[in-house]
Amino acid sequence: MKAELFEVIIRHLSEYGMVHGPFDPLWTRVVIEKPFGRDLESALALNRACLNYLNESQIYRIDHYLGKETVQNILSFRFANAIFEPIFNHRYVDHIQITAAETVGMESGRGAFYDETGALRDMVQNHLMQLLCLVTMEPPSRMTADAIRNEKVKVLQSVVPVSPGCVDGVAVRAQYVGGEVAGKAVPGYRQEERIQPESSTPTYVAMRVDIENWRWKGVPIYLRTGKRLRRRVTEITVQFKIPPLQLFQTVECVGDMCDLTGAKPNRLIFRIQPEEGISLRFSAKRPALQVLVEDVVMDFLYSGQWPGALPEAYERLLLDAIRGDSTLFTRSDEVEAQWRVVQPVLRAWEGLDDCAPVAFYPAGSWGPSEAASIFANYDTDWHNPEA
């Protein structure tokens, strides 16, 4: 949303007596869908326009990811279980990966909007930044809206700024070309309806983020999102460090074929969609005469624990807005801090095409090979979600 559009909407509301001024304690609540602005400058302008007419408590900047059950469960998992919170830090965590993969392209005439927006604005600045905050924030003093949002803002303010200019090695952008998704041939992005034939809008973004604070210093966080990828899945993978001394041999089996392999790291995975749940991968001894360990999985699924359909994210969020509970909505300083993280990348890509050219990847893949470049000098690779 732009500041000018907001001003027009507010003028119409004023005509019906619903908004009278910034300090009017009316029941009026305004819900604003993301993306909140196009860049840092426009987000600042939109916040100013909002606060000219409304209190912060009347503004509900909606991000539907925050209404998903597993997203809300991240804080419960971390801060209601004493066995996990002590190991969420640089001593035990090797790195974190956050993936938001979609199989859809530009269906339903969405091309005109998306070609002006792209993956960085549409997904990274809001959804992925929120997931990053929830998995890395400090415990709030209370489970209240402001206490939680205060801690999220602290995380965003601790993100190491990307150096201006070329962002190679920090972020990668790409577009899908024709390919096959779920056994169906699909066109490339530039062949989709309402897309400019020479468009450089990214449909895929991979980015490294570093947090400069006591808890997460030295732990890289890798973000990626894309259209027309192999599977529809959103998950957070917390990968722990391998023990310093390898006392056991590790075996890896595919069907009846097994072979010795290197030690496997423990992984804690928050599955946001489509099968919401949490899984823990760890090593366990195989039932055999030899002492060999194998990577096994402990799963918790919402569908297996509680019967019935989960509430839709927007159901929860709109009900919270009606009740006046802003816990799952973003605050003005939070939105601005999110934009400050991605603004250097946005500026580089929109001004230095020769320095950061658009890569390409076939539809139905996990993205471009260039995305591995952000792991430079780091012994890891993308964790592709299993079927």
Could you give the residue numbers annotated as active site?
A: 127
Other Cβ atoms within 10 Å of 75 Cβ, number:
18
Q: Tell me the β-bridge partners of 281.
A: 267, 297
Can you read off the two tokens belonging to residue 215?
């808890």
**Cβ atoms of residues 130 and 225 within 8 Å:** no
- Give the burial string for 270-282 (b: 16+ CB within 10 Å, else e): bbbbeebbbbebe
225 φ, ψ (degrees, to nearest 5): -150, 150
Can you read off the two tokens belonging to residue 35?
């993306």
- Give the burial string for 342-359 (b: 16+ CB within 10 Å, else e): bbbbbbbbeeeeeebebb
What angle in degrees, to the nearest 10, is found between the helix axes of 332-351 and 40-53?
A: 150
Residues in the chain: 387
Can you read off the two tokens belonging to residue 217?
């210093």
Backbone angle region of 263, left / alpha / beta, with phi > 0 → left and psi within -120 to 50 → alpha: beta
- Give the burial string for 167-182 (b: 16+ CB within 10 Å, else e): bbebbbbbbbbebebe
User: Which residues are CB-contacts of 77 (< 8 A; sequence separation ≥ 6)?
Assistant: 84, 270, 278
